[in-house]
Amino acid sequence: MSKLNNLISEGAGKINPVSVEEYVGLGGYTALKKAVGMTPEAVIEEVKKAKLRGRGGAAFPAGEKWAHLLRSPGTPNKYIVCNADEGEPGTFKDKLILGQLPHKLLEGITIAGFVFKAKAGYIYVRGEYRKIQKLILKAIENAKAAGYLGSNILKTGFDFDIHVISGAGAYVCGENSALLNSTEGKVGRPRIKPPRLADVGLFLQPTLVNNVESLASIPAIVNKGGDEFLKIGHPDGGGTKLICLSGHAAKKGVFEIPLGKVTLKDAIYDPEMGGGIAGGRKLKFFHLGGQSGPIGGPAQLDTVYSYDDLKKAGLAVGSGAIVVMDETVSILDYLKSITEFFIHESCGKCIPCREGNKQLYKLLQKLSAPGGADAEDLNTLRRLIRTMTDASFCGLGQSAAVALNTAWKHFKAEFEANVKPSAARAA
Ligand SMILES: Cc1cc2nc3c(=O)[nH]c(=O)nc-3n(C[C@H](O)[C@H](O)[C@H](O)COP(=O)(O)O)c2cc1C
Ligand code: SF4
């Protein structure tokens, strides 16, 4: 029996993405019709019951975020912002929704607009998805013509428009407050929080920022009800998750799995998903949730893919990325390439991240050269990781060393292979 699910991805690649009629043929826009007959509190209650966790990486409960925004006084307006920056390496699942099922996203955003009596929503789309941006604009035009968006939606007197903003090409612009700054035309650097964005967000107004996949899950929650959505997944987080397999997986791509019902081994080895390791080689490690996520080893393959189970195993869902690496890969080389990414993407606002990543790279280089590092370098590495994690201003710097920290547990011998005894110890 197939372990896959198509709660979110149904119709992807099978319908003309911009066509309202074809989306309606799949049952599209029925959730919006239902939601406009419900109270905002009732819609939020379903989102809470569904235990929808944010699919952008932080896994924050969406129902809680929505309830907070509803309580926040709207002066004069609340905004809905969809995070479609998708800058996390190894992550390409929002692209599937944006490019193949844009109406599902528009429906989710419009339901949120209705709940919060917002006048406008914004989709901040990764700059590299240029063609997709055009496609979304066409889908918006068609939704307006069909009465699902724009003025007097479904003849209810509700007016709501959606704008597309092109991303600025920086990874940090995916961080929700940097994304709002960038949307406002400012430099895309993170803001201090609190205040929470649900209180002071876009143009200083209360704002909902949710990921593409989170918002695309809303129609299913409204249609099925929160309880049913929860049952599809795991008791700590309902529904399905789009996972992205890449690297040395025999089959690369996006797969939709029910949360809590599939193991990491299934994801990597099931013929319908990763199909094992390319070339029949052995798995060395897998990297979950993007560059800022944890690295796991073969001994953890039986871990169930749910927020709870992965957390207990020291792993995480994150964005849904699963980068698979075979036995030929050097862990130190892999970590160096990640650190180079963070050096490049650090916005430079705070020292622990801006300088810390450069120092991490230098230490990794020393550890890579025979006799290049001593035991004191390993202590410095540990102190540096702690400082970056505790003192960086935003999630980028705070999580830049997660991969390194988790890899350490599995590959201690590789880290220590080139370490010579320190002068102090040798003496
Ligand atoms: C450096 C950095 C980059 C991020 N990039 C993205 C991104 O590309 N897409 C995304 O949805 N969330 C990204 N996030 C997470 C967002 O800050 C935020 O948690 C998310 O948009 C909230 O939506 P959700 O609750 O629906 O997941 C990023 C966070 C950090 C710290
Ligand atoms: S941690 Fe600091 S330097 Fe790094 S991206 Fe965030 S604000 Fe910028």
Give the closest ligand to the alpha carbon of residue 55.
1
pLDDT tens per residue, range 19-43 = 999 999 999 999 999 999 999 999 9
- Taking CA atoms only, the protein residue closest to ligand 1 atom 10 is 56
- The CATH topology of domain 331-426 is de novo design (two linked rop proteins) (1.20.1440)
340 burial type by CB count under 10 A (0-12 exposed, 13-18 middle, 19+ buried): middle
Q: In the chain, which residues have pLDDT < 50?
A: 424, 426-427
Strand pairing report for 120-125 and 79-84: parallel
pLDDT of residue 422: 66
- Ligand 1 contact via 368 beta carbon (within 6 Å): no
| CB of residue 304 inside a 6 A radius of ligand 1 | no
Question: Cβ(318) to ligand 1 under 6 A?
Answer: no
Q: Are 415 and 367 in contact (CB under 8 A)?
A: yes
Give the C-alpha distances (Å, rounded to integers) separating 415 from 54, 294, 319: 34, 17, 27
Tell me if 190 CB under 6 Å of ligand 2.
Answer: yes
Residue closest to 237 by CA, chosen among 76, 58, 114, 18: 58
Q: What is the DSSP string of 225-259?
A: -HHHHHHHSBTTB-SEEEEEEEETBSS-EEEEEET
pLDDT, one tens digit per residue, over 229-266 is 999 999 999 999 999 999 999 999 999 999 999 999 99
Judged on CB neighbours under 10 Å (0-12, 13-18, 19+), 98 is buried
Ligand nearest to the CA of 177: 1
Q: What separation in Å is there between the alpha carbon of 89 and the centre of ligand 2?
A: 18
The alpha carbon torsion through 73, 186, 81, 117 (nearest 10 deg) reads 30
Strands 120-125 and 240-247 turn out to be unpaired
Contact status, residue 296 vs residue 407, Cβ threshold 8 Å: no
Residues in the chain, total? 427
pLDDT of residue 121: 98
The Å distance, Cα 330 to ligand 1 centre, comes to: 29
Å from CA of 59 to ligand 1 middle: 9
The CA 151 to ligand 1 mean position distance, Å, reads 30
pLDDT at position 421 is: 77
- Ligand 1 pocket test, pick from 98, 176, 180, 181 with the greatest ligand atom count within 8 Å of Cβ, gives 176
Ligand 2 atom closest to Cα of residue 392: 1
Find tokens 């080139």 and name the residue: 418
Q: What residues have CB less than 8 Å from 100, skipping those under 6 apart?
A: 11, 12, 13, 15, 17
Contact 34 CB / ligand 2 (< 6 Å): no
- Report which bound ligand comes closest to the CA of 192: 2
Class of domain 20-231 as given by CATH? alpha beta
Cβ–Cβ < 8 Å for 324, 282:
no
| Gap from CA of 46 to ligand 1 centroid (Å) | 23
Q: Pick left, alpha or beta for residue 65 (phi over 0 → left; psi -120 to 50 → alpha; otherwise beta).
A: alpha
Q: How far is CA 396 from the centre of its chain?
A: 13
Ligand index nearest the alpha carbon of residue 171:
1
Q: Which residues of 197-206 are buried (b: 16+ CB within 10 A; e: fewer)?
A: bbbbbbeebb
Domain ranges of the chain: 20-231, 233-326, 331-426
Q: How far is CA 356 from CA 32, 69, 390, 392, in A?
A: 47, 35, 12, 9
- 37: its two tokens: 């007959």
CA 61 – ligand 1 centroid, Å: 13
Print burial letters for 393-412: b (CB count within 10 Å at least 16), e (below 16): bbbbbbbbbbbbbbbbebbe
Q: What pLDDT is recorded for position 168?
A: 83
CA 312 to chain centre: 20
CATH class of 233-326: alpha beta
Q: Is 178 in the pocket of ligand 2 (CB under 6 A)?
A: no
For the Cβ of 249 lying below 6 angstroms from any atom of ligand 2, the answer is no
d(CA 253, CA 258): 16
- Look up tokens 């895309």; give the residue: 188
Indicate which atom in ligand 1 lies nearest the CA of residue 88: 8
The residue whose C-alpha atom lies closest to atom 2 belonging to ligand 2 is 350
By most ligand atoms within 8 Å of CB, the mutation choice from 349, 355, 389 for ligand 2 is 349
- State the Cα–Cα distance between residues 69 and 55, nearest whole angstrom: 18
Compute the radius of gyration of the chain from its Cα atoms. Answer: 22
What phi-psi label fits residue 188: left (phi over 0), alpha (psi between -120 and 50 degrees) or beta? beta
Cβ pair 245, 252 in contact under 8 A: yes
Cβ atoms 351, 361 nearer than 8 A = no
411 token code pair: 């590959």
Q: Which two tokens stand for residue 421?
A: 């005894």
65: its two tokens: 């975020």
